[in-house]
C-alpha cells in the first residue's frame, strides 16, 4: 500500500486469499515453552509513516513502551516529494532513546503516485545527497534502505528495465557510500513467485542481491506459503537464505479490510507467523491516509490509545526468547498465537487471537523448569471496535492458581470476537532465592550492595525498570543499576520504592553497629533496613555527601540486636538516587562513650535527645566512638555539638 491510493484492489496470488474461519467446536493451540525459536526482537512492532516530525508527541509514553523495532519513513518530508511529512532523519533523531530504527524508502524522494521518474542521473544524485546527510547528522539508528517501492505498480516500463535502470546502479552507489547499512528489495506490492524469481535471478547474475528480501502482505493466511515459495527459489538459484522484511501488512488492501488496520484480532496471526518464520522486520500499513504519525492506527485520530496499542504493548512487554506455537491451521487467518519465556523475570506469556470465535484450549505441552508445581495464571483481554475508538486498558478475565501436571498445562480461553486479542500470563508462586555466587554474607562482616540475591525482579529485588543503567558492567542481565565505585561496584540510580535482598548468616546473637558507605550528590535521600520482613531500622536520611557522585562517605546507620542464624536482609530505598556501596556490621562496644561527656556537658545534656550530622535521631546507647553528634535538651533548644571519645 502507499500514499494516495486508498481503494485499489490488488490482484493477488492464490495463497493470499483466505476463507474466514469460524470456530464451533473447541480448537487447540499448542505451545512448547521449552522450545526457543529465537530471541525476542519485537520484529513486527513498527509501522509505515507511523511517526512524523511531531507525532506522536509523547515518545516516552506512547512509543517507547511498545519496544518498536523499525519504522518505515521517507528520506525527506517536503513539498515536491511523495510526502511533505515524516522526514526519516528527523524521526530517527526523535527515536534515538528508544529501541526503534528507521528504514528509508528512497523512492519517496520522488513526486506523484505512481512515482515520476526524473532520469537516472538525477535519481542517483538525490540518493547520494540523502546518504551523505545520514553521516553528516551522525545518525546511528538507520535500519536499512529500500531502493524502490512496489515496482510492479509504480514503475513505467517505458523508462527501461527497472532492475538495470534503478536497482543495480542504486545498489552499487549505496554499497560505495554506506557499505554497512542493509539494502532491501524488491518491495513488491504483494508476493508473486514469477516476479520474485526474475528479480532474484537478475541479482544473482549481477552481484546485487538484497540483504533483506521484501514484499507487502495483505491477509495473514498466505504468508506461510509465500515464505515457502521464496525459500525454494533461493535454494534453486543457489542463494544463501536471506532474512525477510514485510514493510507493510494489514488484513487486506481493499476498503473493507483497510478498516482493520492495527486491530488486535487481525494483528495476532500476522505477528505469530512473522515470529514463526523468522521475519527480521515488519511494519503495519498506512491505509488511514489522512493521519500519519498514528503508529499504524494503534492511536486514534486525536492521539488516544486504541485497542491495538494495548495488544502491541503486550508484545513489547515480552523479553527473553520466543517459544514455539502451533496453530490449528497455519495457512489460515484463524486462531494463532505468539509466546515468550522470560527467565530473568520468571514469567511466560502467550498472546492469541484471529478470525475465530469460540472456545480455544491452549495446551502448554512443555513448561520451563521455573514453572512447575502450582503456578499463577492470568487471562486478559483487549477489546477493539474501530480505529477511532479509544480503549483505556486491558480487562482481567480470570486469575487463578493451576497445577502443572506431567510438565504440561491446559488453559481454556473463550474468544468472544474476532476483533479482540487475549493474553495468558504465567508466573510461579515461589522462586528459589539464593545468595549471589552461593556466598552468604557473614555477620559480623560486610554486605556488598551489588551482590544482592539471585531470584530476579519481584523476588530478590525490585527495580522500577528492567534495564541495568549503571556503568559498572556487572550483573548486566539484572534490572538493578550497578555503578563503578572506586575499585569495585555500588548500587546506583536508585528510586523510591526499589529494594534489594541479601541472605546473611549471623554468627552470634549480639548487638551490632551498622555503617554504610554511601554517595549522594543531590538532595536528601535515604533507605531503611528490614530483616525477615520486619523493620530493623527506621528510615535513615542521607544528606548530600558531595557534589561528586564518585565520592563515598562512611556513615553510621544504627545499632541493632541480631539473632544468630540465617536471615534475609532487605534494603528499601526511601528517596531517589542514593548510591550504596556496602553495609558493615560490627559488634558494638558498650564502652564507646564512657568518657564522652564532661561534667558540664553531662549536666547540659542530661535527658537530651541525640542526632547524627545527617539529622537522624540516635539513641544514647547507639552513640559511637570518634563520631560527631548533636545533643538537644529541654534547656538548650539549639543543641550542643560534641565528638565522642
Return the domain boundaries, the chain: 42-319, 336-428, 436-587, 599-643
Predicted confidence at residue 499, as pLDDT, reads 97
Is pLDDT above 70 for 411? yes
Between 139-153, 280-294, 413-427, 457-471, the lowest mean confidence (pLDDT) is in 457-471
- Is 36's pLDDT higher than 60? yes
Residue 569 C-alpha cell reads as 536482609
pLDDT score of 10 more than 60: no
- Whether residue 583 is predicted with pLDDT greater than 90 in this model: the reply is yes
17, pLDDT greater than 50: no
Percent of the chain beyond pLDDT 90? 78
When pLDDT is cut at 50, 70 and 90, the band that residue 596 belongs to is very low
pLDDT over 70 at 614, yes or no: no
Q: Has residue 607 got a pLDDT over 70?
A: no
Residues 37, 324 contacting (CB under 8 angstroms):
yes
Is the per-residue pLDDT at 555 higher than 80?
yes
The mean per-residue pLDDT over the stretch 349-370 comes to 97
Indicate if the pLDDT at residue 34 is higher than 50. Answer: yes
**pLDDT of res. 644:** 52
Split at pLDDT 50, 70, 90, the class of 15 is very low
In CATH, which superfamily holds the domain spanning 436-587? Galactose-binding domain-like (2.60.120.260)
448 pLDDT band (50/70/90 cuts)?
A: very high
pTM of the model: 0.80
Rg (C-alpha) for the chain, rounded Å, is 31
Confidence of residue 339 (pLDDT cuts 50, 70, 90): very high
- Mean pLDDT across the stretch 596-623? 58
Question: pLDDT for 91-126, tens place per residue?
Answer: 999 999 999 999 999 999 999 999 999 999 999 999
pLDDT (tens digit per residue) in 320-335: 999 999 999 999 999 9
Q: Is the pLDDT of residue 136 over 70?
A: yes
Question: What is the structure's pLDDT at 603?
Answer: 46
Q: Which residue from 449, 453, 508, 459 is spatially nearest to 484, judged by alpha carbons?
A: 449
Q: Give Cα separations from 231 to 200, 224, 330 (angstroms).
A: 11, 11, 17
Rounded distance, CA 286 to CA 250, Å?
9
Class of domain 336-428 (CATH, top level)? mainly beta
* Contact in structure between 176 and 244 (CB atoms under 8 Å): no
* Cα→Cα distances 40→2, 142, 288, 293, 339, Å: 29, 20, 29, 25, 10
pLDDT at position 633:
63
Cell of 102: 528507521
Q: How far is CA 615 from CA 524, 539, 609, in A?
A: 10, 12, 12
| Mean pLDDT value of segment 67-76 | 98
Query: Is 413's pLDDT higher than 90?
Result: yes
Whole-angstrom distance, CA of residue 206 vs CA of residue 166: 13
Whether pLDDT at 608 is above 80: no
Of 211 and 610, the structure prediction assigns the larger pLDDT to 211
Domain 42-319 belongs in CATH node 3.20.20.80: yes
Q: How much is the mean pLDDT over the chain?
A: 90
pLDDT at residue 462 tops 70? yes
Burial of 272 (0-12, 13-18, 19+ CB in 10 A): buried
Mean pLDDT calculated for residue range 380-391? 98
Q: Which of 11-20, 37-46, 255-264, 546-555 has the lowest mean pLDDT?
A: 11-20
Determine if the peptide bond prior to 615 is cis (ω within 30°): no
- Across 22-26, 236-240, 247-251, least confident range: 22-26
Rounded Cα distance, 454 and 446, in Å = 18
Cβ atoms of residues 97 and 138 within 8 Å = no
Residue range 224-231: mean pLDDT, rounded: 98
Tens of pLDDT, residue by residue over 182-199, are 999 999 999 999 999 999
Amino acid at each position: 500500500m502507499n500514499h494516495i491510493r486508498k481503494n485499489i484492489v490488488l490482484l493477488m496470488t492464490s495463497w493470499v486469499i483466505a476463507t474466514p474461519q469460524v470456530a464451533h467446536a473447541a480448537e487447540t493451540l499448542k505451545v512448547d515453552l521449552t522450545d526457543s525459536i529465537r530471541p525476542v526482537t519485537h520484529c513486527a512492532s513498527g509501522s509505515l509513516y507511523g511517526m512524523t516530525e511531531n507525532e506522536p508527541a509523547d515518545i516516552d509514553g506512547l512509543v517507547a513502551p511498545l519496544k518498536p523495532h523499525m519504522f518505515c519513513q521517507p528520506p525527506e518530508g517536503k513539498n515536491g516529494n511523495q510526502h511533505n511529512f515524516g522526514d526519516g532523519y528527523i524521526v530517527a533523531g526523535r527515536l534515538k532513546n528508544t529501541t526503534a530504527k528507521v528504514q528509508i524508502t528512497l523512492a519517496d524522494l520522488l513526486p506523484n503516485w505512481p512515482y515520476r521518474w526524473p532520469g537516472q542521473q538525477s535519481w542517483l544524485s538525490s540518493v547520494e545527497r540523502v546518504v551523505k546527510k545520514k553521516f553528516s547528522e551522525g545518525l546511528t539508528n538507520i535500519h536499512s534502505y529500500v531502493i524502490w517501492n512496489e515496482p510492479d505498480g509504480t514503475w513505467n516500463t517505458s523508462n527501461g528495465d527497472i532492475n538495470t535502470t534503478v536497482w543495480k546502479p542504486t545498489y552499487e552507489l549505496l554499497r560505495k557510500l554506506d557499505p554497512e547499512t542493509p539494502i532491501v528489495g524488491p518491495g513488491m506490492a504483494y508476493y508473486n513467485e514469477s516476479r520474485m524469481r526474475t528479480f532474484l535471478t537478475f541479482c544473482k547474475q549481477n552481484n546485487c542481491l538484497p540483504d533483506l528480501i521484501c514484499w507487502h502482505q495483505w491477509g495473514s493466511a498466505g504468508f506461510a506459503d509465500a515464505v515457502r515459495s521464496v525459500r525454494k527459489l533461493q535454494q534453486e538459484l543457489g542463494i544463501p537464505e536471506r532474512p525477510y522484511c514485510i514493510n507493510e501488512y494489514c488484513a487486506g488492501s481493499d476498503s473493507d479490510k483497510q478498516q482493520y488496520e492495527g486491530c488486535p484480532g487481525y494483528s495476532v496471526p500476522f505477528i505469530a507467523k512473522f515470529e514463526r518464520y523468522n521475519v527480521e522486520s515488519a511494519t503495519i500499513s498506512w491505509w488511514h491516509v489522512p493521519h500519519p504519525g498514528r503508529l499504524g492506527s494503534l492511536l486514534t485520530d486525536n492521539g488516544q490509545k486504541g485497542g491495538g496499542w494495548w495488544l502491541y504493548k503486550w508484545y513489547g512487554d515480552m523479553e527473553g526468547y520466543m517459544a514455539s506455537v502451533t496453530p490449528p491451521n497455519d495457512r489460515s487467518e484463524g486462531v494463532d498465537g505468539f509466546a515468550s519465556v522470560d527467565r530473568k523475570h520468571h514469567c511466560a506469556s502467550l498472546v492469541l487471537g484471529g478470525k475465530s470465535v469460540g472456545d480455544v484450549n491452549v495446551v502448554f505441552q512443555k513448561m520451563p523448569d521455573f514453572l512447575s508445581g502450582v503456578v499463577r495464571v492470568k487471562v486478559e483481554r483487549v477489546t477493539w471496535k474501530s480505529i477511532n475508538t479509544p480503549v483505556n486498558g486491558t480487562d482481567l478475565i480470570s486469575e487463578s492458581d493451576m497445577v502443572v501436571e506431567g510438565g504440561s498445562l491446559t488453559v481454556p480461553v473463550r474468544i468472544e470476537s474476532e476483533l479482540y486479542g487475549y493474553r495468558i500470563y504465567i508466573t510461579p508462586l515461589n522462586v528459589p532465592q539464593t545468595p549471589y555466587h552461593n556466598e552468604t554474607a557473614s555477620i559480623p562482616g560486610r554486605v556488598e550492595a551489588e551482590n544482592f540475591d539471585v531470584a530476579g525482579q519481584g523476588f530478590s529485588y525490585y527495580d522500577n525498570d528492567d534495564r541495568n543503567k549503571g556503568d559498572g558492567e556487572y550483573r548486566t542481565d539484572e534490572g538493578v543499576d550497578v555503578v563503578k565505585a572506586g575499585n569495585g561496584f555500588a548500587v546506583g540510580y536508585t528510586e523510591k520504592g526499589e529494594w534489594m535482598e541479601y541472605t546473611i548468616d549471623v554468627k552470634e546473637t549480639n548487638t551490632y553497629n551498622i555503617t554504610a558507605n554511601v554517595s549522594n550528590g543531590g538532595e536528601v535521600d535515604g533507605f531503611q533496613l528490614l530483616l525477615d520482613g520486619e523493620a530493623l531500622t527506621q528510615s535513615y536520611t542521607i544528606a548530600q555527601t558531595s557534589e561528586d557522585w564518585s565520592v563515598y562517605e562512611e556513615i553510621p546507620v544504627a545499632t541493632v540486636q541480631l539473632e544468630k542464624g540465617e536471615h534475609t536482609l532487605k534494603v528499601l530505598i526511601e528517596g531517589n538516587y542514593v548510591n550504596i556501596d556496602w553495609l558493615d556490621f560490627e559488634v558494638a562496644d558498650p564502652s564507646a562513650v564512657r568518657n564522652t561527656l564532661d561534667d558540664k556537658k553531662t549536666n547540659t545534656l542530661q535527658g537530651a535527645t541525640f542526632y547524627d550530622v545527617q539529622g537522624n535521631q540516635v539513641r544514647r546507647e547507639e552513640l559511637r566512638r570518634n563520631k560527631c553528634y548533636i545533643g538537644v535538651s529541654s534547656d538548650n533548644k539549639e543543641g550542643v555539638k560534641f565528638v565522642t571519645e
